C-alpha cells in the first residue's frame, strides 16, 4: 500500500462532515508541522480506497500521513494534539484533551458517532470506497 500513496504529508478527512471540516480548519496543523496537505477524501476517493485496502476505512476515522508514518482515528487526534500550536482556546483545549493516547482512542468512537449522526441529519452519504 505505501508505494501507492503520495510521498507528501497529508491529512485525509471528510470535507462534508461539519465537525471534521471545522476541526481541520482550527487545528493549525500546517503552522506546527510544516507542509501538510489537507485533503477532502470525497475529492480523492483513490486515497480512501488505498487506505481501506490497508484496513483504514475513512468512514471510521481520519487518516494522517506524516514523515512516512500513518495514523488512523483516535491516534490522529492524539498526533494532531501533540503537533498543533498552543495558540487559541481551541488548540489549548485540543491539546489538553487529546494529548493522552488512551483518552483519544476512548473518545474517538463518540466523535465518530456524532459525525455519522450529523451526516444523516444533513442528508449526506458516507464516503464511497
CA gap 61, 105 in Å, rounded: 11
Taking residues 39-65, what's their average pLDDT? 93
Give me 53's grid cell.
485496502
Taking residues 16-33, what's their average pLDDT? 74
Kindly list the domain boundaries of the chain, sorted by start residue.
2-121
- pTM for the structure as a whole: 0.83
Given this model, what pLDDT does residue 2 score?
Answer: 47
Q: Report how far apart, in Å, the C-alpha atoms of 11 and of each of 82, 117, 120, 121, 122 are.
A: 15, 22, 23, 25, 23
Which of 70, 4, 12 is CA-nearest to residue 42?
A: 12
- For the 2-121 domain, the top CATH level (class) is alpha beta
Band of the pLDDT at 1, cuts 50, 70, 90? very low
pLDDT top residue among 53 and 84: 53
pLDDT tens-digit readout, 54-103: 999 999 999 999 888 999 999 998 988 888 766 777 777 877 888 889 99
Given this model, what pLDDT does residue 85 score?
Answer: 64
Amino acid at each position: 500500500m505505501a508505494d501507492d500513496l503520495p510521498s507528501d504529508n497529508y491529512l485525509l478527512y471528510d470535507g462534508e462532515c461539519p465537525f471534521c471540516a471545522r476541526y481541520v480548519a482550527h487545528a493549525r496543523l500546517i503552522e506546527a508541522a510544516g507542509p501538510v496537505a489537507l485533503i477532502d477524501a470525497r475529492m480523492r476517493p483513490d486515497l480512501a480506497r488505498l487506505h481501506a485496502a490497508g484496513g483504514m476505512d475513512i468512514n471510521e476515522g481520519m487518516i494522517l500521513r506524516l514523515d512516512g508514518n500513518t495514523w488512523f482515528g483516535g491516534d490522529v487526534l492524539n498526533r494532531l494534539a501533540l503537533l498543533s500550536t498552543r495558540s487559541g482556546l481551541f488548540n489549548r483545549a485540543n491539546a489538553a484533551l487529546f494529548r493522552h493516547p488512551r483518552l483519544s482512542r476512548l473518545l474517538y468512537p463518540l466523535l465518530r458517532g456524532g459525525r455519522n449522526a450529523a451526516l444523516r441529519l444533513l442528508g449526506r452519504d458516507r464516503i464511497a470506497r
